[in-house]
A and B are shown apart, each in its own frame.
Chain A
Amino acid sequence: MKISTSYHGDIEIDNQQTLTFNQGIPGFLEETKFVILPLPGAEAFQVLQSIQTKELAFIITDPFQFFLDYDFQLEPQEIEKLQLQQAEDAAVYVLLTMSDSVEKITANLQAPVIINTKQQLAKQVILMNTAYETKHRLFE
């Protein structure tokens, strides 16, 4: 499938790469199909690109690289929605909010994106009863 992207031009993606967010993403509920693309030259980061809307993309990262003690528990209903059978099938990313300076880049640890990598099902989960917030500085 050919798609138009914000930072990668027009590219061909495999259907198997397509992530389905059945409920969209808060603020973008109509957006249910995304793909994760690498960010060449900045390998610690990826782009979560909407397949439906060229202009919609997020910079994401593996939170465990930056926040070594990041830890949370998924509610049973979230596990069910993601049809997760075992923990190994889950991939975790967090959305970054960019800024004009490195020190101000923040990660949203309160609402990680969880992916069932077996079924390519994804959801931005809003953690309940957590001390994590939407703005944690990536670089101290």
Chain B
Amino acid sequence: MLVLTRKLNETIKIGDEIEVTVLAVNGDQVKLGIQAPKSVDIHRQEIYEEIRNENKSASQITLHAINMLKQLSKKK
């Protein structure tokens, strides 16, 4: 991992198009401003990971589960 030290209001450039600026530092909280092309998705890592894991779980489907949905529809 590349490690850089930055002060308040200083920026890191990633490639031509991405800029990350330190906007505020408050105790152990750091506020970052990120400028990136609209095609780049920016997410908090833990949220992205959660969605990824949920998608993995959602892709695990058993025939039992499908039959359950069919049973359910019959009852209605």
- Residues of chain A at the chain B interface (Cβ within 8 Å): 6-7, 23, 25-28, 39, 41-45, 56-59, 77, 80-81, 95-102, 105, 108, 110-111, 124, 126, 134-135
| Other-chain contact of A45, B47, B51, B69 (Cβ < 8 Å) | B69
When the two chains form their complex, are residues A41 and B51 in contact, meaning their CB atoms are under 8 A apart? no
A residues less than 8 Å from B72 (CB atoms): 42, 102
Interface-side segment among B2-10, B15-23, B25-33, B53-61: B53-61
Residues B58 and A108 in contact, CB atoms below 8 Å apart: yes
A-B contact count (CB 8 A): 90
Cβ 8 A contact of A134, one of B43, B54, B59, B69: B54
Q: 23 interchain pairs (CB within 8 A)?
A: A7-B66, A25-B55, A27-B53, A27-B59, A39-B70, A41-B70, A42-B73, A45-B69, A56-B59, A77-B38, A97-B54, A98-B61, A98-B68, A100-B62, A100-B64, A100-B65, A108-B51, A108-B54, A108-B55, A110-B50, A111-B55, A126-B48, A134-B51
Chain A residues lying within 8 Å of B70, measured Cβ to Cβ, are 39, 41-42
**B34-52 to A contact mask, C-beta < 8 Å, 1/0:** 0000110101000110111
The size bracket of the interface on B is 20 to 34
B68 contacts which chain A residues (CB < 8 A)?
98, 101-102, 105
The A interface is mostly helix, strand or loop, or mixed, namely loop
**9 other contacts beyond A57-B59, A58-B55, with CB at 8 A cut-off?**
A26-B48, A39-B70, A42-B73, A77-B38, A100-B62, A110-B47, A111-B51, A126-B48, A126-B51
Majority secondary structure, B binding face: helix
Q: Give the CA-CA distance A122 to B5 in the complex, in Å.
A: 39
Q: How far is the CB of B33 from chain A (nearest CB, A)?
A: 15
Contact A57 B61 (CB under 8 A): yes
Residue in B closest to A76 when the chains form the complex, CB atoms: B38
Q: Are B59 and A58 in contact (CB under 8 A)?
A: yes
Measured CB to CB, the nearest residue on chain A to B49 is A26
